[in-house]
Chain A
Amino acid sequence: MKHNRNLVLAHLWLAFAVFAIAAVFGVWLMWVRSPLHAPYENPQNYFRSVTLHGVSMAYVLTTFFAMGFGYFVAETALGRDIPGIRWAWAAFVAGAIGAVMAALTVLAGDASVLYTFYPPLTASPLFYIGLVLVVGGSWVWCTIMIVAMTQWKRANPGLAVPLAMFATVANAIMWLWTTVGVAAELLFQVIPAALGWTDTVDVGMSRTLFSWTLHAIVYFWLLPAYIAFYTMAPEAAGGRLYSDTMGRLTFVLFLLYSLPVGLHHLFMDPEHSTGFKFVQTALTALVTVPTLLTVFTITASFEVAGRLNGGTGLFGWLRALPWRQPMVLATGLAFFMLWFGGGGGLINMSYGMNAMIHNTSWVTAHFHLIFGGTVVIMYFAIAYQIWPQLTGRVADADDLAQQRWQLWLWAVGMMVMTLPWHWLGLEGQWRRVAHFDYDDPLIAWWASWVDLSLLGGVILLISASLFIVNLARLHARQPAGRAGPQPLRYAVPLHPITRLPAALNGFALWNVLVLVLMAAAYGWPVGQFIAQPSPAAIVHHVDRPS
């Protein structure tokens, strides 16, 4: 890792700086919803902050992290220079400018549209153009990833693409498919309306196009965590990856089944028929397969490591694992949170049960637990793992102890915050509401649960601050000298790859199948808006400033 560490560092520092700022807004949001009096409390500030927190965490942190980590993997796993490095820097600059544009528009109060793109909420065009720049930058990254893998394959015919790179390209291809929905919505509906070029927005159509993006985007955030599970955690635990094929299959299944499932975000919407909702429910259920494959494979890999470390008996290997390694600890904590978050997700995706938790705090709690918990804790672990390579500084025992503290605080804070939040959602607490009247006897009992949730938020903010301190402290130290840190090694599979089918070494077949699935799942749900005139009730007339 010599050539492009500044490129990776620029991406990761930008991602984490935005994360730290957004974390402050997150705690403030919890505070406003609690019975305690928060400063600057009013509904305008609340929705402005929801937008800023959501856009920063969901779009800026994730996109820049995935891009930076992708560049790192491309260089280290393939052992080659990244192609098109100038393009990569240009994409970074464009994305950074876009992020700042979006943030300023939100702060100015011209874009309190939350972080979803649901008309009739419409923001200033600058907000959308800013986000288009971020997404445009990520498309450049996708292209670079695909080109890097293709060039490597050409130079190494017949060899298996390293799993880390295969998975990164799976994510890049998935992201290209994913962004088609929101790009179509923004370019053909929202931006023309925001600029005043059109008079109406078909809200049914825009919700459908956004749903195309809305679920797959979650997997775009998630896959870097899974890449760490498969290629970093077994090595950090001192073992081997139980099955390389399982890993490839997992990423292929994510590519296939993250996309044709977005209608499960529109179960309560009237513009879609029950049949298509059901088909997408069935396809959503298949996403559990790669998740369970991963839980099995990584647990098996850890068992191998634990037994190599001298662990015996049915569960003795668990104790023998090197939990002092932040990557191992983070993987354990991530799996713990995944059980709760994944279980909640099964309720969300069930066509019938969804009605129970629709638009309640349950939903917010769910995605905080699974994204903020399982995924982001792995972002931390990845950063800790690759920071020595990027900065040339070696972490000592004190650093590792502080990193473990930070990871524990994050997991505890996330559980304390989200479990009461789930419970309140089941009891009917609304999401996206700025103020609750806790004097009302019907909801008075919520108060102590919301306070508890806020306490979780405060713990998370402490952890987020400690994370920045940990990274900065290591970065600011004297370089380790000539020897430098050990080069990063990706996990070696237990059984060496002798021959790999083309299907697990490339994406041609899966791209065709994604096309088939998307045509089947979204063909009529999108096409109906073109084939039939929409009912007047779901066509929004754009307000004209007089």
Chain B
Amino acid sequence: MDRKWRVWGTLGVLAALAVGGLLGFIVLPVVQGRAAGIDAFTAICRAVGILPGSPARPTPPYHAEPQPVTKVAWTTATFEELYRADRANGARLAGERCISCHTLEGNTPDPTIPRNIGQSVFALYKQLHDFRSGSRVNETMSPLVKDLDDKQIADLAAYYGRLFRGAIDPDVSGRYAGIDIQNIVSNGDVARGLPPCSACHATRAGGPIETPTLTGQYAQYLEAQLKAFASGARHNDIYHRMRSVAAKLTSNEIRLLAIQYSGE
């Protein structure tokens, strides 16, 4: 009886170990690896821990470079640059590069192109900077700003950002697009984890500092940008703020929000 217990006890324990090992080291990694496009040998080595990574997922390249969403840093040097910006030089550059789409007054009639009039200097600076660094991509804008330096960008931002004549007064603009939309603007939606738009976008620019003025902007442009944020096509928003917000909005809400802000 003693021997029987010894033999069967040992076999029982080893069998449990073998079943666990067979599943954990061979069956699961091979099956999971096949689905993830990893060969059986690599998948097994990963399951054992000899090779790094998971047998169920392709491993991202080890030396992948981190991509910041923007290269603008709001340092005192940036503020100083904007403060000392040369508006006359900005006007000259606008005459060379921007006039055909944005007009010198910043008040284009084309609703697919944003109005620069009444826009914040900081928002303009950041967007121009992002177009140049590649953080934001547009087939017309990207090549146009490629060769500008920081000072020229600051000059342009200062030029357009101080054009107020003819701008819509944000305090009286906006159009009521229904109680639901007003609710999203003022209160957000807790159930969806949506913060209110007004947490950042005030009647004028608002805050954080790079927040753009939305009032008086073209509805068509606003709608296109919200959709681009929602799909991730546009991704130069710090901390994913606009992408996470826009992705939670329905397309109807996006359309109505654009109308409410534009005042059209």
Q: Does A44 have its Cβ within 8 Å of any Cβ on chain B?
A: no
Residues of B within 8 A of A280 (CB): 20
B49 contacts A279, CB within 8 Å? Answer: no
Q: Report the minimum CB–CB distance from B30 to chain A (whole Å).
A: 11
Q: Among B2, B47, B190, which residue has its beta carbon within 8 angstroms of that of A273?
A: B47
Is the C-beta of B23 less than 8 angstroms from some C-beta in chain A? yes
Contact of A501 among B5, B25, B29, B56 (CB under 8 A): B5
Q: Is the CB of B17 within 8 A of A274?
A: no
Is B64 interfacial (CB-CB < 8 Å)? no
Q: Is the CB of A516 within 8 A of B5?
A: no
A517 touching B17 in the complex, CB below 8 Å, given contacts A273-B46, A274-B28, A441-B190: yes
Q: In the bound complex, do residue B54 and residue A274 qualify as a contact, i.e. CB atoms below 8 Å apart?
A: yes
For A275, the chain B residues whose CB sits under 8 A away are 21, 24-25, 28-29, 47-49
Q: How far is the CA of A509 from the CA of B10 in the complex (A)?
A: 8
Q: Which of A268-290 contact B (CB under 8 A)?
A: 272-283, 286
Contact A442 B193, beta carbon cutoff 8 Å: yes
In contact, B13 and A282 (Cβ under 8 angstroms): no
- Chain A contact-residue range equals 20 to 34
Contacts of A510 in B (CB 8 A): 9
Query: Interface SS of chain B: helix, strand, loop or mixed?
Result: helix
Given contacts A282-B16, A503-B9, A513-B13, contact A528 B1 (CB under 8 A): no
In the bound complex, do residue B25 and residue A279 qualify as a contact, i.e. CB atoms below 8 Å apart? yes
Contact mask for chain B residues 9-53; partner A; CB cutoff 8 A; 1 contact, 0 none: 110011011011101110011000000000000000011110000
Does A338 sit within 8 A of B, measured CB to CB?
no
Contact indicator B5/A503 (Cβ below 8 Å): yes
| B6 at interface, CB cutoff 8 A | yes
> Which B residue sits closest to A351, measured CB to CB?
B24
Interface-central residue, A277, A278, A520, by most chain B CB under 10 Å: A278
Contacts of A499 in B (CB 8 A): 1
Q: Most A CB atoms within 10 A — which of B9, B10, B48, B55? A: B9
Closest to B187 in A: A441
Contact of A279 among B21, B54, B55 (CB under 8 A): B21
B190 to chain A, nearest CB (A): 4
The interface residues of chain A lying within 8 Å CB-to-CB of B1 are 499, 501
A residues less than 8 Å from B6 (CB atoms): 503, 509
Check A274/B29 contact, CB under 8 A, given A501-B2, A517-B13, A524-B48: yes
Quick check: A276 and B24 within 8 Å, CB to CB?
A: yes
> What number of residue pairs across chains A and B have CB atoms under 8 A from each other?
83
Whole-angstrom distance from the CB of B232 to the nearest CB of chain A? 24
Check if B13 sits within 8 Å of A502, measured CB to CB.
no
* A22 at interface by CB-CB < 8 Å: no
* A234 contacts chain B at the CB level, 8 A cutoff: no
Q: Is the CB of B190 within 8 A of A442?
A: yes
List, in ascending order, chain B residues with CB within 8 A of A274's CB: 24, 28-29, 46-47, 54-56
A119 close to B (CB within 8 Å): no
Shortest distance in angstroms between A497's beta carbon and chain B's nearest beta carbon? 13
Is A70 interfacial (CB-CB < 8 Å)?
no
Partner of A520, one of B17, B49, B193: B17
CB distance from A267 to the nearest CB of B (A): 13
**Residue from B1, B2, B28 with most neighbouring chain A CB atoms (10 Å):** B2
Mark out the residues of chain B between 40 and 93 whose CB falls within 8 Å of any chain A CB in the assembled complex.
Answer: 46-49, 54-56
Chain A neighbourhood of B9, CB < 8 A: 503, 509-510, 513
- Binary contact track A428-448/B, C-beta < 8 Å → 1, others 0: 000000000000011000000
Contact assessment for B21 and A504 in the assembled complex, using a CB-CB cutoff below 8 Å:
no
* Contact of B5 with A282 in the complex, beta carbons under 8 Å: no
Considering the chains assembled together, what is the distance between the CA atoms of A265 and B20 in angstroms? 18
Central interface residue in A274, A286, A524, by most chain B CB within 10 Å = A274
Q: How far is the CB of B173 from chain A (nearest CB, A)?
A: 30
Query: Once the chains bind, are A286 and B2 in contact (CB under 8 Å)?
Result: no
Say whether, besides A442-B190, A503-B6, A528 and B20 are in contact (CB < 8 Å).
no
Q: Which of B6, B24, B46, B55 has the most CB of A within 10 A?
A: B24
Bound Cα distance A441, B195 (Å) = 11
Contact in complex: B49, A273 (CB < 8 Å): yes
Q: Give the CA-CA distance A66 to B190 in the complex, in Å.
A: 50
* A279-B24, A282-B23, A442-B193 known; A513 vs B10 contact (CB < 8 Å): yes
Distance in angstroms between the alpha carbons of A442 and B188 in the assembled complex: 12
Residues of A within 8 A of B29 (CB): 274-275
Taking A275-B48, A283-B16 as given, write out 4 further A-B residue pairs in contact, using a Cβ cutoff of 8 Å, ordered by the A residue number: A275-B24, A278-B25, A286-B16, A502-B5
22 sampled A-B residue pairs with Cβ under 8 A: A256-B13, A273-B49, A274-B24, A274-B46, A274-B55, A274-B56, A275-B24, A276-B49, A277-B24, A279-B21, A279-B25, A280-B20, A281-B24, A282-B19, A282-B20, A501-B2, A502-B5, A503-B5, A509-B6, A513-B10, A516-B13, A517-B17
Binding site for B on A (CB under 8 A): 256, 272-283, 286, 441-442, 499, 501-504, 509-510, 513, 516-517, 520, 524-525, 528
